Structure 1
Amino acid sequence: MSPDADAPLHRPGAPTKPVFLRRLFTPLPPDLTARLAAYPDLLRRAMPLRSGMERQLPRLVRELSQSLTSEREGGPRPGYLSDPRALSAYAWYYLPWNLIRLSRLLPGLDLNLPDNALVCDLGSGPLTFVQALWLSRPDLRRKKLRISCIDRSRRALDLGLKLFAELAGFDPTAEDAPWRIRVARGEYWQGLTDGADLVAMINVANELAGSSRDPLDSRMERVAAQLVESLAPGGRALVVEPGTRLGWRCLLGMREAFIDLDIHLSGPCPHREECVLAGGRTRAWCHFNMSPKGAPKWLTTFSDRANLGKERLSLAYLLARKVQPTLEKQAVRVVSGAFALTDVPGSAVYGCSQSGLVVLVAPDRCPPAPGDLLAVEVPPDAPCDGKSGAPRVTLPGDPAARPSERPQPERNERGRGTAPKTPPTRDAGRSRAPKPGGSGAGPAGPLRAGRPGRKAGSPQSREKAGGPARTSKKPAVRPVRRGK
């Protein structure tokens, strides 16, 4: 925001008042948490299990987790959800946790679809995205939508249709259904339809990463070109990945292609320059962590039985729209959790802005939440952060704010204990990549040096994302796959 014309000159390190624009992650509303609490009943009706199979579920979940996180070449076999045992494990563990992740994210996204909109869900699995959209966006339930879902596993698609019918209370395959869903077995590119208002790829790109010998960036750029080619004017492409380094790398390649194709980036990036975390001084990457608060008791208990309990949920995402690019003035997106600074009191978070990385300092230890979008003026004489090289902007405290209005320390999934009063330092936990379902360290890195100009190749055929490969200059990343 612009300073008042009559205001005194800014003193280095003096508080800068931000303008709150919007919150990305919203709490789960009571009606949604009630539906999730009753979800086991839906699962048992849609996919009855023998008592012996139900007792084996924790072990089957662990085996599926090992397969999905395998670093061996090839990872999980294509169409692994066609195996009834794998699908059962997936439906009782990965599906509900992904419903929670997506239900926290989707309300904060610009997904105002028109009536009779066409939605293409690529790599649908058991219709995870469509279920989450119905649960978390009641504003869209009143609209007529045509939804096309494709996956390698017909068994998973059929299960998703049954679960959605239970959730929504109508048959989505009927001609007069408000959300008319058509499913088909096939590869992701076979689900692309011209004139789509929304194309969604949820936890698919990381599985595609190991399916080609081409460099990862080249592969992702071609996938992004395919998505853009299928969009109607004003249409949106939403890609969500696990909050892993590989997930971010997949999105980074797509982001570069979207920019080269002159597509508007709706989120999370508030700018079109080089990613502020690419080539940084640390091993940080762009992803968002959130508390599992609101998860039903049955799910946390079952996760503990499988030795896969969660203290945090994480994801990375990219939302692009086929319109002329626009920018919000002085926009800063919070891209980390709170951490402590060694030389000043309070806590801080990293922000992503058009001018580069920014360190937002909260002397009252109540910084903005991860994902929040603010309008912040970065003074030209702002002090420089010694570790990241980014300018530090001190935010004013608000002692009059009610406790409920301030970001609260995250509790663990059992509700016991809170985060320490002194936030962790930036170096805490950065020695290795996060465990499955866990969180990585918050983003950090130096100011960017500017994005080199480069033009992407023309969109490729949908039948095969082929074409000449270019050599990636980014460090190699071992594939770490996650379920849909």
Structure 2
Amino acid sequence: MMRNLFRPPSEALSHDMTAAVKAVHAATPLSGAHAKELPFAVRDLSRLLTQDRSQLAASYWVNKRLLTAYCRYFLPWNLLRLSWLLPGLDLPLPPHATILDLGSGPLTMPLALWITKPAWREMPLTIVCSDVSPAPMALGRDIFRRLAPDCPWTIELVRGPLEKVLREFTRPAALITAGNVLNEIKPSREVPLQNRLAALTRRIASRLADDGRFLAVEPGTRLGGKLMALTRLAAFGARLVPEAPCPHWGPCPMLAERATGWCHFSHITGAAPKDLTDLTKRAGLEKDSLSLSCMLLRRVTGEELRRVEKHLPNVADDDFDDEWFGGPDEADMDEDGSDGWAEAFAEAGPEMFSAEERNTVRILSDPIRLPGLPEPARYACSARGLVLAHNALRVPSGAAVTVRWPESQPRDPKTGALVVTLPPVAAKTPAPAGQAAPGKPGKPAWPRKQPPPSETARPHESPRRPSGPAKPGKPGKPSAPAGQGTKSTPPRPEKTAGQTAWDKPDRPPKTGASRPPARHPARKSPRPAAPGKKGENHER
């Protein structure tokens, strides 16, 4: 079992991240006018990806303005997000292995693998990248070649939707990845989302090598967490088992009837390159933390399968043939898409894990301050269901901790979570980035610009930023001049009437020409919508 799921970026990794940003800039050169326009393009694309997804079309990949904004803003942030996750994952990869990346976009996952897996850089690998649009993949390959010109990897670009790519891909893959892709799968009137995910998972399982892995990563939103939980449930029907983050094979606590939260992990953005943080500020966007939901699945071994089949003797193997994907049988699955295998794996799970592993919990949520407790608690996942862990402030997000279960088994009245107290943190154990150092009583040293958690915060929700002016008498930033807001809006570049910086060459405006009204007047960013509803963040 992977103990600490996430690792803070090392100095070498941070150096490679900076090199990746420079490669992006070299592959997407900007004139002076384009550079001034970039923050507005980033903000426009952010609104499309997070608030106006009903108006989002695949054509945004072929819009040069939006594609450049994606590569200069969203791509580096996604690389930084993956840089916390990938170093700690167990991804066995033999030489000459094949990796299939679904929904590659500008090759985000191959770039992240090169940055986070230095031991792979000299290995001869084949990476098959697929997407519905060739433009971002071509640009991503250019970025990759600039970052790693001597890399021995063979990168193949395949254009097509998920169904077509998986149907035509016949080589056994040591690793199949899907980054920010599952949120694009749409249910139909005849086939619910769970059954579509089950069909997709079965097809992916049929394309894995014997020791292959499937890694899915989504934004740490309510939808992203739900997709990971449903994919995990469907995986049992495809004879795949979770390697991370789940510490068990039992039912997912996030699918329970009383569950109000979702599985996700958050980290601060302290390791971001300066060019990226400067662009973020100029675009008027906030990035205090990075969150993600993930699921790493592996093929079940022959011995494990024989033990599981004892709990399900009457289920016939379907051999994962082609009719599972998109065919009429897709609508005839069980309600959860697992055909009863999820229950069999749950019953066989305890005999597959050691005593220490059965007594392990995985820390999920940000710290949550609860009434009557001296310090915040954390929600966690375990084989016994959802856990409310006390004495967990200094435990890193995603860490696996061995606990001693209380004999009385008290439960949280709000969520029904089993309440446990974690063992004390050793005095020499460093605190996670942005938290108080161990051994120092008092309030935790929260990340910069991040307040202590709210007493009313729901499970797995990050604390909200307080609004309003500072209290009188306390030092702070000088007030803005009269007539200006507290947030700055990037200045709109000068251009002639009817001209945009992305349509015409950069040139000074004609004499006497009046400046057109700004298409994006200064205004405060709209309040984010509630998680799981329209307006939720689904950044690709």
Compared CA separation, residues 33 and 246, structure 1 to 2 (3 A): same
Once residues 216 and 268 of structure 1 are traced to their aligned partners in structure 2, the CA distance between those partners, rounded to angstroms, is 22
Matched residues in 2 for 1:255 and 1:394: separation? 28
Question: 1:410/1:394 Cα in 2 relative to 1: closer, same or farther (>3 Å)?
Answer: closer
Q: Name the aligned partner's letter for residue 375 of structure 2.
A: G
Q: 1:424 aligns to what?
A: 454
Q: Residue deviations 1:139-183, cap 9 Å, x none?
A: 22232211100112211111111111122232xxxxxx6211111
The aligned counterpart of 1:292 is 269
1:338 aligned counterpart, secondary structure: coil
Q: 2-side partners of 1:93 and 1:476: how far apart?
A: 24
Give the structure 2 partner of residue 314 of structure 1.
291
In structure 2, the partner of 1:439 is: none
Is residue 2:39 matched to residue 1:58?
yes
User: Using a 3 Å threshold, how does the CA distance of structure 1 residues 228 and 312 change in structure 2: closer, same or farther?
Assistant: same
Alignment of 1:25-174 (within 5 A): 25-70=6-51, 73=54, 75-170=55-150
* Other structure's SS at 1:277 match: helix
SS of residue paired to 1:290: strand
Q: What residue identity is the alignment partner of 1:26?
A: R
- Seen in structure 2, the aligned counterparts of structure 1 residues 163 and 373 have a Cα distance that, compared at 3 Å, is same
- Which SS does the other structure have where 2:26 is aligned? helix
Over 3 Å counting, the alpha-carbon distance change for 1:168 and 1:44 in structure 2 is same
1:313 partner SS: strand
* Paired residue type of 1:100: L
Superposed CA RMSD? 2.8
- CA deviation digits over 1:438-466, x for unaligned, max 9? xxxxxxxxxxxxxxxxxxxxxxxxxxxxx
Kindly provide the CA deviation profile for residues 379-401 of structure 1, in whole angstroms up to 9, marking residues without a partner as x. 33233323322222222324x61
Q: 1:121: Cα distance to partner?
A: 0.4
| Equivalent in the alignment of 1:372 | 399
Structure 1 segment 137-286 matched on structure 2, within 5 A? 137-170=117-150, 178-192=152-166, 193-194=169-170, 195-209=172-186, 214-281=191-258, 283-286=260-263
CA deviation map 1:195-243 (0-9, x unaligned): 1111100001112237887322222222111211111111111110111
**In structure 1, what is the Cα distance between the partners aligned to 2:212 and 2:110?**
17
Contact 1:209 1:479 in 2 (8 A): no
For residues 334-413 of structure 1, the aligned pairs below 5 Å read: 334-362=363-391, 366-398=393-425, 401-402=427-428, 405-409=430-434
Change (3 A) 1:255 1:418: closer
Q: Which amino acid aligns with 1:142?
A: E
Rounded to whole Å, the distance in 2 between the matches of 1:430 and 1:336 is 7
Bigger mean CA deviation after superposition, 270-279 or 118-127: 270-279
Change in Cα spacing, 1:71 to 1:285, as seen in structure 2 (3 Å) is farther
Q: Secondary structure at the match of 1:130?
A: helix
In structure 2, relative to structure 1, the CA distance for the partners of 1:215 and 1:279 (3 Å cut) is same
Question: Which segment is superposed worse, 206-215 or 235-244?
Answer: 206-215
* 1:441-460 aligned within 5 A: none
Say if 2:365 and 2:461, in contact at 8 Å, map to a contact too.
no
- Shift of the 214–476 alpha-carbon distance from structure 1 to 2, 3 Å rule, reads farther
1:330-353 CA-to-partner distances (Å, cap 9, x unmatched) read 221111111223223233211111
Structure 1 residues 258, 96: closer, same or farther in 2, change over 3 A?
same
Letter in structure 2 aligned against 1:317:
C
Partner SS for 1:379: coil
User: CA contact under 8 A between 2:262 and 2:460: conserved in structure 1?
Assistant: no
Partner Cα distance (2:246, 2:117) in 1: 23
Q: CA deviation at 1:358?
A: 1.5
Once residues 431 and 267 of structure 1 are traced to their aligned partners in structure 2, the CA distance between those partners, rounded to angstroms, is 18
CA distance 1:65–1:408, shift in 2 (3 Å): closer
Percent of residue pairs identical:
38
TM-score, normalised with respect to structure 2: 0.70
Distance in 2, matches of 1:286 and 1:415, equals 21
Separation in structure 2 between the aligned mates of residue 375 and residue 428 of structure 1, nearest angstrom: 26
Partners of 1:418 and 1:125 in 2: how far apart? 32
Per-residue deviation at 1:64?
0.9
Quick check: 31-40 or 105-114, which moved more?
31-40
SS in structure 2 at match of 1:35: helix
Equivalent AA in structure 2 for residue 97 of structure 1 = W
Question: How many Å apart are 1:33 and its aligned residue?
Answer: 1.5
Q: Which has the higher contact order (CA 8 A, sep 6+)?
A: 1
**Number of equivalent positions:** 410
**Partner amino acid, structure 2, of 1:401:** A
Deviations 1:105-143 (A, max 9, x none): 001111121111110001101100000011011122232
CA distance in 2, matches of 1:240, 1:211: 23
CA contact (8 A) 1:126 1:157 kept: yes
Q: Displacement, 1:479?
A: 8.0
Alpha carbons of structure 1 residues 261 and 40: separation in structure 2 relative to 1, 3 Å: closer
Task: Name the CA distance, whole Å, in 1 between partners of 2:379 and 2:96.
Answer: 40
In structure 1, give the amino acid aligned to 2:146: E
